[in-house]
């Protein structure tokens, strides 16, 4: 995902269609994510990579307005300034407001944005119900729905950041305190043999174009750790002086450390000698058994080196996700059974996904984000710039607690810059067999 | 005034006291300035030197809370974070939030801030009415009132900036369109003789410590222009290529020009070849007869050089304000008669002050902001850092349309950095006799 | 290669040894590269990524001094400051001078540096001749020789930059004017079938650790262009407005363009409407038939997109270099026959390498610089940080006219940041079959 | 003085003329300042405000070449690039090389620059000897001589910086170790009465235009300390925690401190717990009785506040220099007797000037650098930009050990930015009577 939204558009299966009920539910879910917010919380942008929640609410509406309603002569944006303000980065759609300045936009108000949302939702619902949507329009609708789901996760990321760094850390959901999570399976190495494997999305599933085409790759034999790295393990890394030892870090990572003065994960705070971690319910004592989260690629990579291991490639993880071994103490079956069940208005890695921790935190891979062999960008206006983020970023796999239901799959390629930490990121170790 | 507030505390006359009625009126006036704003408008900070209106509302309350109520055991701030957030720059009062990050503070909400204001207003009113306020407390109250008036002007400056640079320029007051202003007196040079003169505030008036002590200075003979430079005149300066001619500029000014790419006053916009100016009612065609406003010291200085004149010193202007000649076509009398009468919720140089333009726009002087001989900072906790802004800034004199009633006087020294343009600044030319 | 040197140390074949004659020749060649320079030319650093030639001369000596002579009690550095100044980035070797400040070091003088070189050369030669060098010492010597060769290329890169951007462009070698180059073979697509192939250095050759281990990969079928992109072709790209069309660029690349205002390759200059290019003999009219050089990854990638093609992966190029087809009009044979024959004190892409242009310019690949599966850093003190540059960079393959003889091979992985342009870089197009 | 030189040209007395002997001596003295330097030392620029010594040697020749010889058809510059490289900041003379990039210019070589100097010296000497120099030419020559003297001081400042911050601090003059300085007169306050005084240069002396016109000012009664602040006193200021106490600093000064992490004067170094100071002979133990030097305006101002005093105005110092009281233990007489006698190739405050320390170090004043009333820039091409540095700087008075003989006078106004520390600056305290 990209800070400022993040298309990576799907190659829609021609028969794919969205029901009006699903559409309304998705739109409504976005709004419900913002329901605990005060009006003022919708406006602020405490870092250039954060977008004000209000902006997400408007941008996800603009997407349908610009790419679906306007071409059909049904556009509802009150004036050109909406295109300026709520276009994220589509150069083909004209000038767009600088991302780092989104927090300067006091207007439209939250109420005006909600009204804009309402109009867009109604017009699109009408079109769906009419049964007259063309194939191409159905594709745009399906794409817009996926796009909106990505922003649902971004909203949770951005709200967490806004709330956590307020001088008086705010509470998003007092009941989200970690509980019921069972990560008790002792970690062990899981073996995978070498061989030629297929990667990427199969033809009969929805997928973004960056997951395609499906193609073969040779995997050398490897091992993955059955669990994610925990806070307890990460604390040992810190206590061992790792943040002051250049031999553990990539050169760029070490420079980043020196410049930022970073000494711990993003949401850790020291309180009178003890570690606390911010989550949706406020700051709490660090839960040692939970997986470490909100770390940069540089930190994940340094941890792996310190631990005598390495990060997996994106293909090793995809292969794992496609061939998840059945834990002895589990009765789940099937390759998709491990995705967490419910909706996740819970910006904290607290809800179990599978016994291996998949679905809890996005897992950094050592694979830079590059095109698959034979990659072709999605045709048409919405996807004009499909591959343009394929430099300077790393792929993450596996989904997280903030990922909307149904928005994860083994071939899903999330991506961030190696210094980004506000996504729900974690570490799974790998090593050569 | 300083971007982030601006003490410059008064040496209060011992007998000075504030009535509860005046106090309530001042507090209420601050709130009325914000009444045309949406909640969202209170939160944003489109430039580091701007403060969100919400912050002004809270800070002016914190001032009374911290310096008056708390020492009396009557503090109302709900927790330490208020001291962190709403302390502007008083190092003696502990750590303070970085000015450039005020726009990140979504909380307290506007409603919570208004409630905080209300509590402070009530507690202070109570103290005044009790008749038990000590001399020292009365001094703090009087100081807090002056402080709040300064923020009333800053609020208008900041709101103007927030509204003007929104992609869809907002309207603050549709009825503030320039009208009724009579600047028709033809400009001429007014002569002043050389001689030893007294400068600074007399002992029996309220004044800040930077206006004191009253002291003598020798003035060489000089001339001042009877009018402020107009938009029409300034347009000739632009059309003459002045923004591209380094010989007209101070070296620092030229560097600033190159870096910023500035080509016109702050609130001018080109619209299809014609000039428009933003004011409280929106963008309008440039009114040629109005004084040019919102220009930096560098621009004022370059204009003066281009015009074959110079900027006045602060003492030349003070002498002028103290000895205002009676225009032939005016019946006003008295040295203070030229200050504009009413309150000014009108962030546009549209309301006549005197026939010489005093009270319309702050006039840049060539005098850097330095201490008067014998300067002594105000004693006590509120005034700990009195002179700390006396470097890198220039003095402005004369008041402006956004200056609250009763907050101007001939000895009043406003001050800004030479590159600042969001204050209501203008140009009066001077020359040697 | 990294700006500030660039280890990537070899896994030395145990039997590898360096003769004293070879050693002396290599050391002397480095000095001969600097022979056209004035003393003053050795000192300057016109950009942070450039090193003054004097620094290269000293650093390549320090390498032997620190890692070979000192441990043997034979160190010759006159004081600790040499370790501070001439350590490039080996954190294990203590503090090092900031790279961007190398141009501040007026001392030691060139003459003192040459004397330091001389002492190092003599001591090492003595050790070689004594026949008493241990295996481990022989490995260091061999590594130091490879290291010095890398700096020979860097010296030519840096000198070219220093000379080209002097207000009066300097001449390095008046006789280096392009001539005799035969690139007349018409470009065509060369086909390669899919299949499992071996990559990386074979065990019986010298290679750096980043070329190892040798391992299998699956290649999908692909095509490579038989020639490098020419100046003439690149000029069409420019004339087509490509530098102003965001749809052709990676997002990071477009940001880089906007920030830098780049509009052409690094060493192109406009002279009265005509294009000139700087090379070792000064500025000359652009030679249309020569391959375009000194372009960034972003430019190479944008060109490929504009041309309807893509950049090759590093494995496609390695496979090509290992299986170079015999051109019809050539009698060369053998997979290594295409490397250019002589030494190259010639910082200009003017000397033919093979009919396919290999050896003329490093070819950007779409492969980020990452570890091979099973990668293990070279053991021991010299190679402590072997993989630390494996982020944020792209691999280049094929060698260039400035690469010293014997310092190229099909598995050789050069690497630069996507914005770097001062290496001798070019473009070979690829596409899917 | 400005980093990049800074004329501030004189109003030459019409009868002023320069003898060929004086001219040759001045030119030769500049070269002798550089005689201890290696060629490499002439080239480097370790900070943007430093100029490489080679540049000074060339620029002071270019000044005569461009403004005297060229107009007479006798120019000697070999090509236009000399005008580009050696013009400091005269916009009227066309584009000039960026000051911060002077250290990138390896050519012309030192030898070529010396040859350029030689040609200029010869041509100008010839013109002087011919007796045919017009009045206007004589003025340029006299101005060029003053200009060159300013650069002699700048050369010593820049060389000191280059040598001091080399990792192995270099020795400029091993025999310059402080000795023979008698500052033993106990410091006391010297009283001055209020009254109207004349300031600025008298008509019959050489002076720059910024010292003119002579004009009256009213001085309030004041006191000056008879001695400069010593290292011992300054050490008490440091040991008292002054660098960590915001209440002592101007707001800008405190920001500068935080940003720079400054904790002591520029050339102080801690060596195993003890203070050392760099001077021309290398680093030595801090001499407690010497005046503190190389401090910024911010530090001088903070020291004065800490000491319960203030800095003097430039007029208080001028008045002092014009009415120097005769110390009881001195037999010197006359207002100019206190200027140090000999030449000063001695970049260290070690040589006595007068019993009050005048002539040892430039004394920071609290006066921003502004025009005198009636200021008129010198007419003609050389003085086109006379007043353009009159913003953002403070005036210093009194001369220093590096000031060439005959280049100081009571009305001389030196000026630097408040953060500059590489000039030979010191502190004299003042207070109100």
What are B189's two structure tokens?
A: 């040079």
d(CA C171, CA C177): 11
pLDDT band of residue D244 (cuts 50, 70, 90) is very high
Cβ-Cβ contacts under 8 Å, C373 against chain A: 220, 222, 313, 432
CA distance B255 to chain D (A): 11
CA distance A162 to chain B (A): 8
Total beta-carbon pairs less than 8 A apart between chain A and chain B: 88
pLDDT number for residue C347: 40
pLDDT band of residue A346 (cuts 50, 70, 90) is very low
| Residue A299: how many other CB atoms lie within 10 Å | 30
Tell me whether residues A366 and C371 touch, CB distance under 8 A. Answer: yes
What are D54's two structure tokens?
A: 């080679």
Q: Which of residues 129-168 of B touch A (CB under 8 A)?
A: 162, 165-168
Name the residue facing B392 among D196, D252, D390 (closest C-beta).
D252
| Selection from B316, B420, B426, B294 nearest residue B360 by Cα | B426
| Selection from A428, A400, A431, A429 nearest residue A414 by Cα | A400
> What digits encode the pLDDT tens for the residues D348-381?
333 446 789 899 999 999 999 999 999 988 766 6
**What is the average pLDDT across A82-87?**
96
**What is the average pLDDT across B389-403?**
94
pLDDT number for residue D380: 66
d(CA B89, CA B96): 7
CA distance B198 to chain D (A): 11
pLDDT number for residue C382: 54
Is this prediction's pTM over 0.80? Answer: yes
Instruction: Confirm if C282 and C169 have CB atoms less than 8 A apart.
Output: yes
Q: Does D393 touch chain B (CB under 8 A)?
A: no
**Chain D residue with minimum CA distance to C168:** D81
Q: Does C330 touch chain A (CB under 8 A)?
A: no
Instruction: Confirm if C68 and C144 have CB atoms less than 8 A apart.
Output: yes
pLDDT number for residue D9: 40
How big is chain D by its Cα radius of gyration, in Å?
21
Place of tokens 């001045």: D26
Name the residue facing D106 among C44, C105, C109 (closest C-beta).
C44
Q: Which chains touch C (3 or more CB pairs under 8 A)?
A: A, D
pLDDT number for residue A330: 45
Instruction: Confirm if A148 and A60 have CB atoms less than 8 A apart.
Output: yes
Three-class secondary structure of residue C152 per DSSP: helix
CA-to-CA separations, D301 to B391, D249, D395, in angstroms, rounded = 11, 7, 13
Name the residue facing B106 among A85, A97, A166 (closest C-beta).
A166
CA distance D351 to chain C (A): 29
> What digits encode the pLDDT tens for the residues A286-312?
999 999 999 999 999 999 999 999 999
Q: In what order do the strands lie in the sheet with C268-271?
A: C268-271, C274-279, C282-285
Q: Do chains A and C touch (3 or more CB pairs under 8 A)?
A: yes
Q: Do chains A and B touch (3 or more CB pairs under 8 A)?
A: yes
Q: Does D280 touch chain C (CB under 8 A)?
A: no
Cβ-Cβ contacts under 8 Å, C43 against chain D: 40, 43-44, 106
Is it the case that residue A6 has pLDDT exceeding 60? no
Give exposure, D344-374, as e/b (b: 16+ Cβ within 10 Å): bbbbbbbbbbbbbbbbbbbbbbbbbbbbbbe
Is it the case that residue D291 has pLDDT exceeding 50? yes
Q: Does D215 touch chain B (CB under 8 A)?
A: yes
Q: Does A243 touch chain C (CB under 8 A)?
A: no
- Helix (H) or strand (E) holding C254, with range, is helix C251-260
Q: What percent of chain A has pLDDT over 70?
A: 86
d(CA B54, CA B86): 10
- Helix (H) or strand (E) holding D122, with range, is helix D110-130
**What is the average pLDDT across A9-35?**
82
Tell me whether residues B91 and D247 touch, CB distance under 8 A. Answer: yes
Burial class (CB in 10 A: 0-12, 13-18, 19+), A285: exposed
DSSP A237-299: HHHTTGGG-GGGS-HHHHHHHHHHT--S-TTEEEETTEEEEEETTEEEE--TTSBP-S--HHH
Q: Does D243 touch chain B (CB under 8 A)?
A: no
Three-class secondary structure of residue B139 per DSSP: helix
Q: What ipTM, to 2 d.p.?
A: 0.91
Tell me whether residues D40 and C38 touch, CB distance under 8 A. Answer: no
Place of tokens 């008045």: D319
- Helix (H) or strand (E) holding A395, with range, is strand A394-397
Reading chain C (433 residues) residue by residue, the pLDDT tens digits are: 333 333 334 444 554 789 999 999 999 999 999 999 999 999 999 999 999 999 999 999 999 999 999 999 999 999 899 999 999 988 888 899 999 999 999 999 999 999 999 999 999 999 999 999 998 899 889 989 999 999 999 999 999 999 999 999 899 987 654 444 555 567 899 999 999 999 999 877 778 889 999 999 999 999 999 999 999 999 999 999 999 999 999 999 999 999 999 999 999 999 899 999 998 888 999 999 999 999 999 999 999 999 999 999 999 999 999 998 865 544 433 322 232 323 333 443 334 467 898 999 999 999 999 999 999 887 666 554 458 899 999 999 999 989 998 788 999 999 999 999 999 999 999 999 8
pLDDT band of residue D339 (cuts 50, 70, 90) is very low
Cβ-Cβ contacts under 8 Å, C45 against chain D: 103-104
Which 8-state DSSP code applies to residue B22?
H
Cβ-Cβ contacts under 8 Å, B371 against chain D: 310, 366
pLDDT number for residue B251: 94
pLDDT number for residue B337: 27
Instruction: Confirm if B420 and B362 have CB atoms less than 8 A apart.
Output: no
d(CA D117, CA D122): 9
d(CA C29, CA C402): 13
Q: Does A375 touch chain B (CB under 8 A)?
A: no
Name the residue facing B40 among A43, A45, A85 (closest C-beta).
A43
**What is the average pLDDT across B114-138?**
96
Q: Do chains A and D touch (3 or more CB pairs under 8 A)?
A: no
Which 8-state DSSP code applies to residue A227?
S
Place of tokens 């420019």: C238
Q: What is the β-pairing status of strands C274-279 and C282-285? A: antiparallel
């Amino acid at each position: 995902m990209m800070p400022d939204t993040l298309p990576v558009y799907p190659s829609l299966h021609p028969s794919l269609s969205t029901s009006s009920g699903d559409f309304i539910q998705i739109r409504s879910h976005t709004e419900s994510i913002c329901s605990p917010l005060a009006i003022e919380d919708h406006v602020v942008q405490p870092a250039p990579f954060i977008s004000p929640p209000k902006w997400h609410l408007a941008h996800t509406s603009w997407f349908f307005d610009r790419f679906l309603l306007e071409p059909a002569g049904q556009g509802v944006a009150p004036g050109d300034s909406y295109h300026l303000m709520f276009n994220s980065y589509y150069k083909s759609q004209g000038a767009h407001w600088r991302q780092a300045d989104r927090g300067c936009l006091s207007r439209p108000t939250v109420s005006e944005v909600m009204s804009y949302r309402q109009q867009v939702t109604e017009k699109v619902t009408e079109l769906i119900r009419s049964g007259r949507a063309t194939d191409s329009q159905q594709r745009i609708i399906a794409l817009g729905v996926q796009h909106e789901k990505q922003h649902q996760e971004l909203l949770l990321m951005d709200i967490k950041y806004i709330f956590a760094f307020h001088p008086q850390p705010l509470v998003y959901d007092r009941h989200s305190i970690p509980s019921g999570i069972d990560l008790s399976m002792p970690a062990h190495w899981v073996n995978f043999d070498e061989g030629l494997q297929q990667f990427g999305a199969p033809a009969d599933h929805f997928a973004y174009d960056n997951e395609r085409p499906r193609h073969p790759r040779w995997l050398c034999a490897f091992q993955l750790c059955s669990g994610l790295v925990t806070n307890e393990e990460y604390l040992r890394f810190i206590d061992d002086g790792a943040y002051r030892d250049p031999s553990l870090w990539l050169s760029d990572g070490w420079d980043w450390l020196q410049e930022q003065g970073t000494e711990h994960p993003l949401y850790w705070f020291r309180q009178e000698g003890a570690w606390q971690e911010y989550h949706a319910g406020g700051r709490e004592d660090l839960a040692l058994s939970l997986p470490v989260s909100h770390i940069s690629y540089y930190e994940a990579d340094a941890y792996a080196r310190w631990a005598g291991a390495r990060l997996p490639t994106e293909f090793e993880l995809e292969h794992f996700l496609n061939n998840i071994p059945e834990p002895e103490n589990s009765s789940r079956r099937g390759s998709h059974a491990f995705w967490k069940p419910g909706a996740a208005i819970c910006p904290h890695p607290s809800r179990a996904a599978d016994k291996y921790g998949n679905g809890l935190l996005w897992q950094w891979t050592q694979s830079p984000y590059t095109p698959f062999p034979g990659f072709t960008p999605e045709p048409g206006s919405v996807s004009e710039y499909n591959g343009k983020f394929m430099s300077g970023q790393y792929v993450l796999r596996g989904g997280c607690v903030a990922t909307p239901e149904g928005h994860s799959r083994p071939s899903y390629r999330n991506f961030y810059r190696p210094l980004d930490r506000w996504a729900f990121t974690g570490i799974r170790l790998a090593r050569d067999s």
